[in-house]
Structures are given as C-alpha cells and as structure tokens.
C-alpha cells in the first residue's frame, strides 16, 4: 500500500497533533512512566509525525523502529526527524536524536505489512503504535495484527482512526450523499483486503478485547476552522476524487460541492489504547 505524499502528511500534522485524545495519551504515559527505557514499533509511520507526538509521552530513553511500505516516506521521516530534534546524528543505519531531554534511537525499515507482519513488528517491542492507519485495513488484517501484538505482550496505541463522522460548514444539501459515497469508496481494498473504513475503530478494539486486553477508546476529531483553509480544501478535493470513482453522485452535483468554500469542518477520529490484562 502506498499513495500518501510527504506533503499531504505535513499539511495534516498540526491538526493531527492537536486532535489527539489527552486522556488516552496521559493513560499511556502513566502506564510506562516507571520504565527506564522503552522500545516502540511504529507501523505505517509515514513521515514520522506519530513519533514526534508520542515520544514526548514516554520515558527518557527510547528505541523506535519505523516501518513503512514507501521508501520515499522513510527518507522524508529521517529528514523531518533531524529538523525536529534538538540534536541529531547518524550512526550507520540508525538515527540518534535528542529532544526535550529524551534520548531517541531510530531505525527505518521498509516492509509490506500484509505480506510480512511478523517481520515488521520484530521480536519484543514494549509498545506498538500507529496513526491514521487502520481505517485502510480489513477486519482479517486486524485479527492477524492483534494476535501478533498479543503474542509479544506489547501495549498498543493508535490515534486518528477515521470513524465516519463528518460535519462541514457551511452545510451543502449534498453533504450526506457525498459522505455516503466516500464511505463506499473507503471500504474498497487498500492493499489489506476490503477495508473496514468508518467501522475500523470498533472492529479494532473488539479484536484486542477478545484477547483479554483492556481497551480504552476516545474521540480525537479534527475541528477545523478558517486557519485550516488549505487542509479543508485538500479534504474536499480528496473526497471529490474518491466519490467520482464510485459514480454514485453526478458530475454537476460534485462540481458544485467541491467548489463551495468551507469555513470549517469536523472530521471524526478515534484513539485506541489496548493494554495487557
């Protein structure tokens, strides 16, 4: 699976970071606070936005394994982490970062998660994490994934899983039809089988509960306003392109919808924390 640009990921990063559910983040932080060091696997890491937000919740010594299918995104992740850190140096394939008193060792790994999930996760991570990823996956993949995390007795933390809720400002009469068609497109195969799309957060939590994990879920919506105009415009364009592929909305209606200047939007997401019993 590929198709996400570093530019798109950079555009959404501020909205992603401010949307994260603080209760769930603080629960994760408290759970791992007594450890001297933690090892983390970030699947579908993109340009490393998730590391930048999550590392500040964790103990001072951290080892991160960043995994993505797209080699270009792994290159962007390295570059952006070096810009973000207070200090950085490369040691062979490893990047060593200092940020706000945290010592962070990072390695970069290209994997097809659907083909080699076990290899991607490695052997003994303390925490497996991801961001804006699981709405692209199938229930069957989530079943495999949960079983693999549980086998490692790792904690699991994922943020910004799309949950199907949308509200656009100003409202357009075609909003409901557009969103319904967008959901149909979202549930197509994105490389992991038919995607769960807007039901993915519910499915994901259930998989970990079946293994006896304690699961905490919380809302993490994008609440976008005039200062997010560029992101809103990209969202409209992306929705329109997806809906056009379905043929469910006629071209003139779609053109009017995408041409309406929006002053705000609320896009629903769910954060999930699953902990061994």
Convert the pLDDT of each residue in 70-96 to its tens digit. Answer: 999 999 999 999 999 999 999 888 999
C-alpha distances out from residue 227 to 61, 140, 166, 187, 263, Å:
36, 39, 18, 30, 9
pLDDT at 186: 95
Over range 130-148, report the average pLDDT.
Answer: 97
Residues 14-32 have a mean pLDDT of 98
Work out the average pLDDT over 203-219: 98
Structure tokens at 108: 């970069």
The neighbouring-strand residues paired with 20 are: none
The DSSP secondary structure of 219-240, one letter per residue, reads E--EEE-GGGHHHHHHHHHHHH
Q: What is the pLDDT of residue 168?
A: 98
Asked if the peptide bond before residue 170 counts as cis, ω within 30 degrees of 0, the response is yes
Give me the numbers of helices (H) and strands (E) for the chain, helices first please: 10, 10
Residue 138 contacts residue 195 (beta carbons within 8 Å): yes
pLDDT score at 1: 44
pLDDT tens per residue, range 152-190: 999 999 999 999 999 999 999 999 999 999 999 999 999
Q: What is the pLDDT of residue 93?
A: 84
Task: Count Cβ atoms below 10 Å from residue 107 Cβ, excluding itself.
Answer: 14
Q: What integer pLDDT is reported at residue 2 of this predicted model? A: 47
Q: What is the pTM of this model?
A: 0.96
Q: For the chain, what is the radius of gyration of the CA atoms?
A: 19
Strands 155-169 and 127-131: parallel
Average pLDDT over residues 15-39: 97
**Mean pLDDT value across residues 247-260:** 96
122 with 151: CB under 8 angstroms? no
Q: What is the pLDDT of residue 277?
A: 82
What is the end-to-end Cα distance of the chain in Å, rounded? 33
């Amino acid at each position: 699976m590929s198709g996400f640009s570093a530019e798109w990921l950079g555009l959404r990063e501020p909205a992603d970071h401010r949307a994260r559910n603080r209760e769930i983040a603080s629960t994760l932080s408290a759970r791992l606070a007594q450890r001297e060091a933690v090892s983390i696997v970030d699947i579908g890491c993109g340009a490393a936005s998730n590391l930048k937000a999550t590392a500040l919740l964790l103990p001072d010594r951290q080892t991160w394994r960043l995994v993505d299918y797209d080699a270009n995104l792994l290159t962007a992740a390295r570059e952006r982490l070096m810009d973000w850190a207070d200090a950085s140096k490369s040691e062979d394939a490893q990047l060593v970062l200092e940020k706000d008193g945290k010592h962070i060792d990072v390695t970069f790994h290209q994997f097809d998660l659907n083909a080699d999930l076990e290899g991607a996760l490695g052997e003994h991570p303390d925490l497996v994490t991801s961001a804006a990823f699981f709405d692209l996956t199938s229930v069957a993949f989530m079943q495999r994934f949960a079983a693999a995390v549980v086998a490692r007795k790792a904690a699991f933390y994922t943020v910004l899983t799309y949950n199907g809720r949308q509200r656009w400002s100003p409202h357009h009469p075609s909003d409901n039809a557009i969103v319904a068609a967008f959901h149909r497109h979202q549930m197509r195969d994105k490389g992991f089988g038919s995607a769960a799309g807007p039901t993915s957060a519910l499915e994901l939590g259930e998989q970990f509960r079946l293994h006896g994990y304690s699961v905490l879920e919380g809302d993490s919506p994008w609440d976008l306003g005039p200062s997010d105009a560029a992101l809103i415009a990209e969202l409209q364009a992306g929705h329109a392109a997806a809906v056009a592929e379905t043929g469910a909305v006629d071209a003139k209606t779609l053109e009017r919808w995408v041409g309406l200047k929006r002053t705000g939007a609320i896009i629903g997401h769910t954060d999930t924390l699953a902990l061994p019993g």
